Structure 1
Amino acid sequence: MKAVILAGGLGTRLQPYTFFIPKPMLPLGNKPLLEYTIEWLKNAGGLKEIVICVSYLHRTIEDYFEDGARFGVKIEYARSDRPLATAGQLKTAERQLQGDTFVCVYGDSVYEFNLRKMLKMHKESRAFVSMALMPYTTRLKYGFIDTKESDVTAWREKPEISGLINIGCYAMEPEFLKGIPNSGSFGMDDAVRKALGDKKTVKAFEVDSNSFIDIGDKKSYLDAYKQFASRLGKI
């Protein structure tokens, strides 16, 4: 089984850090973010054949990881000449992902859950796509006013809402790639909604809130950096 890592984005929310280094290569502790992802795929999922989808500043990634031999894996690259949305980026690796179930992960996140367990569920359920989901709660910025006709019936001041969020880790059947257009920007949400519309089986694999770190913006990156630096101890 192969894994594909989507690592071609511009990282605009992390500028100016990403002006000269692609987001997946930002340091966390003593390694780039992408190295943790590769180690996790190998250790938590037993996956040693990896395709990295690259575009923006791709040489930085390719020169560091090369063919993957020094990391104990085999790495291939799927390169696009411009950044694409998530599913469009995945489509560039279609030739390398034929014939078997594969794992797709985003290259700007840290994962720390049992990937083997997710793959077992995916196989046993014969799913078309399985998604890793995490519980999330947030408090809305504004109060909500409930009305009936022109009467105010309730005032809910900055209510909390809870649900499951997508953390960007999927197990997919190769036929999933056929539903992604050959050109243009196409998000993973578009591709999964298309699969649901086609009555394909999409399964949820729920992980706990300590299983995922999103490096979405400068604040979340600095928080993650401090966390990983503290694991190294004093230097």
Structure 2
Amino acid sequence: MKAIILSGGKGTRLRPLTYTGAKQLVPVANKPILWYGIESIVAAGITEIGIIISPETGGEVKAKTGNGDRFGARITYIMQDKPLGLAHAVKVAQPFLGDSPFVMYLGDNLVESQLDMFLSKFQSQQLDALTLLCEVENPTAFGVAKVDAQGRVLQLIEKPKNPPSNLALVGVYLFSAEIHQAIANIQPSARGELEITDAIQYLIDRQQNVQSFQLKGWWLDTGKKDDLLAANQIILDSCSQLTIEGEIDATSKVSGRVHIGSGSRIINSTIRGPVTIGNNCTIKNCFIGPYSSIADDTTLVDADIEHSVILQGAKVVGIQQRIVDSLIGARATLQVAPQRPKAMRFMIGDDSHIEII
């Protein structure tokens, strides 16, 4: 069994951050989104992983993620020159996959459930395809599956006006080698892409064994700011514990589940968890409220932050009014002049410098 993780795409919904970086490397609880997928796949016992990359961000993904040693895996990088669809990504990965069954995992997804049961069903029933599904409130915004009482997939419809169910395609699939023939026999869609839903439908139409597995836990597509903040909150809730590796002075107060990385200094500040703070940060005269993630090498002075994600090397100085629901890019600088507004909400790209006057 092998796996491929899709880590291309332009990430238009997370701009301006994704003008300068891969959306799959944006951190949730100070860890790149992509890494959660790798860890989930390795936990299921799959260690041969191909990562589909694009020319624009592939170098950054390779440099950040490496050869897989840190995960106990072996990673092969596979270039998809143009974003021509999920099925096209499988097509370019075919030399890596060979005749092996495989997991396909979208690199900007986070799912609560482990892949073990998913994998067990696929193997024990000798399926040609298995799709992970999740109940959603707005099925018209997703690819939707029509299934029978036994979970067999009857039809897949992309963003239907009249959905046959509220079961959305999560973005985690298992395939046998039969999917390669299906992809070879489909045509590009109206948007010029080879759609994985068309390839699965090809299998269904030819009476191949295509089943579903309904996710009971949470599923998050982190393609938008609010989705990423929601993911950050859930991960902090589920994973945080009190670990102090940095320095906290006598005038500071830390409560709840808080991680403070090595080399970080907390000076005259209040930190109320769940919060994670990376390495070599300086936090002075600040309030850091719940569900905040602050990456390595960040400087916060006279700042009040809650439910926000601050990327590596950012500086926030002189803003005592509360910053909430914000995403501040790597190496960005945010500072305020003496006349201060009452409330602020931001999404700031990498290397920005913003002064509030």
Give the counterpart letter for 1:62 in structure 2: K
1:88 deviates by 1.0
1:168 and 1:200 mapped to 2: Cα distance? 20
1:135 paired residue number: 135
TM-score by length of 2: 0.56
Higher helix share: 1
Give aligned-pair identity as a percent.
31
Structure 1: segments with no counterpart, 5+ residues: 141-160
2:46 paired residue number: 47
2:107 is the counterpart of 1:107 = yes
TM-score by length of 1: 0.83
Question: Which entry has the higher C-alpha Rg, 1 or 2?
Answer: 2
1:196 and 1:204 mapped to 2: Cα distance? 12
1:203 and 1:217 mapped to 2: Cα distance? 30
Contact 1:87 1:187 in 2 (8 A): yes
Q: Deviations over 1:105-125 (max 9, x none)?
A: 101101221312111211222
1:198 paired residue number: 206
Contact 1:134 1:164 in 2 (8 A): yes
1:212 paired residue number: 219
Contact 1:137 1:162 in 2 (8 A): no
- Equivalent residues, number: 214
Contact 2:138 2:166 in 1 (8 A): no
1:89 deviates by 1.4
Q: Which has the higher contact order (CA 8 A, sep 6+)?
A: 1
2:230 paired residue number: 223
Give every structure 1 segment of 4 or more consecutive aligned residues whose post-TM-superposition deviation is greater than 3 Å: 181-184, 226-233
Aligned alpha-carbon RMSD (Å)? 2.3
Contact 1:9 1:84 in 2 (8 A): no
Pair 138,179 (structure 1): closer, same or farther in 2 beyond 3 Å: closer
Contact 1:88 1:181 in 2 (8 A): no
2:79 and 2:129 mapped to 1: Cα distance? 24
Q: Deviations over 1:114-167 (max 9, x none)?
A: 312111211222211001111223499xxxxxxxxxxxxxxxxxxxx9621110
Structure 2: segments with no counterpart, 5+ residues: 141-163, 241-256, 261-357
1:7 and 1:29 mapped to 2: Cα distance? 19
Pairing 1:1-235 to 2, within 5 Å after superposition: 1-43=1-43, 45-55=44-54, 56-138=56-138, 163-181=166-184, 185-208=193-216, 210-229=217-236, 231-232=239-240, 233-234=257-258, 235=260
2:57 and 2:139 mapped to 1: Cα distance? 37
1:199 deviates by 2.0
Pair 60,164 (structure 1): closer, same or farther in 2 beyond 3 Å: same
